[in-house]
């Protein structure tokens, strides 16, 4: 074994030396203009995802003034562009990137929905499938995973992340990087991962996209930075800067963030790319006067590649001539980009990702679509099921009512860039395929707001006629499924909302259908937590389906009809109303914690402090009973471990999955600590009547935090172990950590 390991290390060392010799020789041959070209990332005209594009990008490729292209895919198209690069003097291959966020052609649930599966192996698998398809379609690089921790559901981009919890976000970050990059980037079915948005973008003020961020270093290190760090430690090849400022300096020009923290403290070896035109945007930030200063600040901060802004392309040569920027900084940035291209095997074969036969075989094959259906099933969260209305019976007459019941485009959600919505399965199609008696009526527009409908590209219908058709359809049925929520364009980038309730037009529809007296099931389609107080008070069954992807309709039908027992658990808190925002489970206590009998304590006059649906929440068609929590000991040494155990029983009438969650609390510490923090979970499958003992091992690493001196330590004292089906309904036992 030792001999094999030694041989492996020798081969790896030789390969590394060969790479270094090749790239060093190449760099020495490059002119300054050719070097600057490698730092220039431009969009093609195939798909524009930002405010503008550079029309003569093809001329830039031919002149060697562009090193990478995004928004270009298919083997034929990327081959055509790569041919242009092969006509340049040094024939340095292009790098092709794209927003492969929750699948490439086979679209999986939006990341926030997928996170609700609490299935790390499945999340790694969907990233692997996305990489298989994207690489077969001419792509080398995905701008994913987004690991921004977010506590404000008004922000549209919560759809693109995995919620509010730091520890959970770390696990997903690692799984996604492994899925995209595999174990060997030279394999032609892998793509470079790009962790984003570095850093803190999920904490923007007022939940308004592109807004400012301001927080303490302690908050950064404890709650917001760890998922980025985990992605880097998992080997993420690239990092994307965020639009916001960090400690008063835009991330794209922040030397502490990109050099001191990312490279020196965390040891990141890959290259850093900006988000769309974020070097240019440092001017309105007020940190630089012009693009000349912006280019200098960004390069010296540690930015290697300029996305779409062309600031490096127009300013770096003059900065070198003016002796403002040493060529060594440009050389370092170029070398990091060339290394990525080398690791992908592009210098050996620039066309290795341009195989049309592979694309035809791989993309949207049956296995991938089945995984999409399974992922969508597991992402669905049952929020309410009064009177066991669900699952529906196959002999019931079902009225499907609502503007999202047969909306193909909305099924694949936002940031489904290359997805073909015409191949998506709607809920109506899914129910029909299941063979049930279903009739459909649109019922209402997405919104009565003409301006919003225009922004979404939707045409308004005759509101009264739509409503009457819906009421007639409802009266003829045994049960009504309301397909309501958001259009896909109402969440995602540049889609912040100040009111995150169901739009008024759909509320009017709900209220009218309720008056028919028919049993109602609300199937929600949305990219964020919503405010659902009225719905929770009046509708007996609520199913959170998110935007489920290519197989959304089949998966929702499977759950509605009991072919799959819902098992999803929320990874982001649902507030009662927007006035509670930000609201999240791992809050800290105050000096005046809520006391219902004391006015002068921390509470609202009009609503309870707690959310409508807490973090980790999700029901099942069966019931699970938790026995008492036991500990292997009531104290633990600094170098020891402790085992926490609970017995979980399936006491209902269905087989099903349950996610058993472990939370910890540090009762007294040198700095204020959260009332609970997720530190583990076990997803188990229990047949009806079955019981299982579930155990968690707790070590000192689970108890560490940043103390008064910003040292990452565990302090002796009392800790509490909390175990339950969600963050609210837990049992608690205590132990002491000894010095």
Active site residues: 275
If one counts every other C-beta atom within 10 angstroms of the C-beta of residue 260, the result is 14
Which of 193, 188, 179 has its CA nearest to residue 128? 179
- As a whole number of angstroms, the distance between CA 137 and CA 135 comes to 5
Side-by-side strand order, sheet with 238-241: 194-198, 238-241, 271-273
Q: Does the N-terminal peptide bond of residue 342 adopt cis geometry, omega within 30 degrees of 0?
A: no
Three-state secondary structure string covering 681-695: EEEEEECCCCEEEEE
- As a whole number of angstroms, the distance between CA 282 and CA 312 comes to 14
* Residue 42 · residue 308 · CB < 8 Å: yes
Q: Does the N-terminal peptide bond of residue 665 adopt cis geometry, omega within 30 degrees of 0?
A: no
What is the sign, positive or negative, of the torsion defined by CA atoms of 588, 592, 597, 600?
Answer: negative
Burial of 17 (0-12, 13-18, 19+ CB in 10 A): exposed
C-alpha distances out from residue 244 to 144, 287, 306, Å = 18, 12, 16
Phi-psi bin for 379: left (phi > 0), alpha (psi -120 to 50), beta? alpha
Residue 664 β-bridge partners: 677, 721
DSSP 158: G
- As a whole number of angstroms, the distance between CA 559 and CA 481 comes to 13
Residue 656 β-bridge partners: 686
Which of 327, 313, 485 has its CA nearest to residue 410? 485
- As a whole number of angstroms, the distance between CA 393 and CA 31 comes to 72
If one counts every other C-beta atom within 10 angstroms of the C-beta of residue 252, the result is 36
Question: What is the secondary structure of 171-214 as a DSSP string?
Answer: HHHHHHHHHHH-S-TTSTT--B-EEEEETTGGG-GGG-TT----
Contacts of 588 (CB under 8 A, 6+ apart): 672, 673, 674, 675
Which of 60, 134, 142, 146 has its CA nearest to residue 98? 142
- As a whole number of angstroms, the distance between CA 647 and CA 642 comes to 17
- As a whole number of angstroms, the distance between CA 627 and CA 717 comes to 26
- As a whole number of angstroms, the distance between CA 453 and CA 449 comes to 6
Supply φ then ψ for residue 95, to 5 degrees.
-105, 130
Residue 680 β-bridge partners: 662
Supply φ then ψ for residue 694, to 5 degrees.
-115, 130
- As a whole number of angstroms, the distance between CA 248 and CA 244 comes to 9
Contacts of 273 (CB under 8 A, 6+ apart): 41, 194, 238, 239, 240, 241, 303, 304, 305, 306, 307
């Amino acid at each position: 074994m030792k001999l094999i390991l030694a041989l492996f290390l020798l081969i790896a060392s030789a390969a590394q030396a060969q790479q270094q010799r090749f790239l060093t020789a190449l760099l020495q041959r490059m002119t300054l203009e050719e070097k600057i070209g490698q730092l220039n990332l431009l969009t093609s005209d195939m798909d524009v995802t930002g405010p503008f594009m550079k029309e003569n990008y093809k001329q830039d490729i031919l002149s060697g003034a562009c090193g990478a292209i995004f928004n270009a895919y298919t083997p034929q198209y990327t081959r055509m562009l790569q041919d242009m690069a092969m006509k340049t003097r040094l024939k340095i291959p292009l790098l092709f990137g794209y927003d492969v966020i929750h699948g490439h052609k086979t679209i999986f649930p939006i990341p926030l929905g997928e996170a609700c599966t609490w299935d790390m192996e499945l999340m790694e698998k969907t990233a692997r499938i996305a990489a298989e398809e994207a690489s077969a379609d001419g792509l080398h690089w995905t701008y994913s995973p987004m690991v921004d921790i977010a506590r404000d559901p008004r922000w549209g981009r919560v759809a693109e992340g995995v919620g509010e919890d730091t520890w959970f976000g770390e696990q997903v970050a690692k799984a996604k990087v492994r899925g995209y990059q595999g174990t060997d980037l030279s394999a032609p079915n892998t793509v470079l991962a790009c962790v984003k948005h570095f850093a803190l973008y999920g904490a923007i003020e007022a939940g308004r996209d592109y807004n400012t961020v301001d927080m303490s270093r302690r908050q950064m290190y404890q709650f917001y930075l760890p998922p980025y760090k985990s992605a880097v430690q998992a080997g993420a090849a690239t990092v994307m800067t965020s639009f916001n400022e960090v400690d008063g300096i835009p991330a794209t020009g922040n030397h502490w963030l990109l050099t001191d923290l990312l490279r020196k403290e965390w040891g990141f070896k890959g290259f850093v790319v900006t988000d769309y035109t974020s070097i240019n945007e440092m001017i309105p930030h007020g940190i630089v006067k012009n693009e000349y200063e912006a280019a200098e600040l960004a390069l010296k901060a540690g930015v290697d590649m300029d996305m779409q802004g062309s600031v490096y392309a127009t300013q770096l040569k003059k900065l070198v001539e003016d002796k403002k920027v040493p060529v060594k900084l440009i050389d370092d940035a170029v070398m990091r980009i060339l290394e990525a291209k080398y690791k992908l095997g592009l210098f050996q074969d620039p066309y290795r990702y341009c195989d049309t036969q592979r694309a035809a075989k791989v993309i949207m094959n049956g296995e991938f679509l089945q995984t999409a259906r399974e992922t969508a099933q597991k992402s669905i969260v049952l929020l309410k099921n009064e009177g066991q209305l669900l699952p529906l019976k196959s002999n019931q007459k079902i009225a499907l009512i609502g503007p999202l019941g047969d909306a193909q485009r909305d099924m694949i959600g936002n940031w489904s860039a290359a997805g073909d919505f015409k191949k998506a399965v709607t809920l109506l199609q899914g129910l029909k395929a299941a063979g049930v008696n279903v009739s459909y009526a649109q019922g209402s527009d997405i919104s009565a707001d003409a301006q919003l409908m225009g922004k979404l590209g939707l045409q308004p219908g005759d509101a009264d006629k739509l409503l009457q058709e819906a009421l007639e359809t409802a009266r003829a049925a045994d049960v009504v499924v309301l397909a309501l929520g958001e259009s896909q364009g109402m969440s995602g980038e540049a889609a912040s909302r100040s009111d995150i309730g169901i739009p008024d037009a759909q509320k009017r529809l709900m209220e009218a259908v309720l008056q028919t007296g028919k049993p109602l099931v609300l199937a929600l389609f949305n990219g964020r937590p919503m405010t659902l107080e009225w719905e929770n008070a009046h509708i007996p069954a609520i199913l959170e389906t998110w935007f489920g992807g290519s197989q959304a309709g089949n998966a929702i039908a499977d759950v509605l009809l009991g072919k799959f027992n819902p098992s999803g658990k929320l990874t982001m808190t649902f507030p009662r109303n927007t006035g509670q925002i930000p609201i999240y489970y791992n809050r800290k206590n105050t000096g005046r914690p809520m006391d219902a009998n004391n006015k002068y304590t921390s509470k609202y006059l009009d609503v309870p402090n707690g959310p409508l649906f807490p973090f980790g929440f999700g029901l099942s068609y069966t019931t699970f009973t938790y026995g008492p929590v036991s500990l292997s000991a009531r104290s633990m040494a600094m170098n020891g471990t402790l085992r926490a155990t609970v017995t979980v029983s399936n006491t209902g009438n269905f087989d099903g999955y349950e996610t058993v969650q472990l939370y910890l609390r540090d009762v007294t510490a040198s700095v204020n600590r959260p009332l609970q923090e997720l530190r583990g979970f076990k997803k188990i499958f229990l047949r009806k009547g079955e019981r299982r003992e579930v155990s968690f091992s707790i070590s000192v690493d689970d108890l560490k935090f940043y103390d008064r001196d910003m040292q990452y330590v565990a302090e002796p004292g009392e800790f509490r172990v909390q175990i339950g089906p969600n963050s609210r309904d837990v049992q608690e036992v205590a132990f002491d950590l000894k010095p």
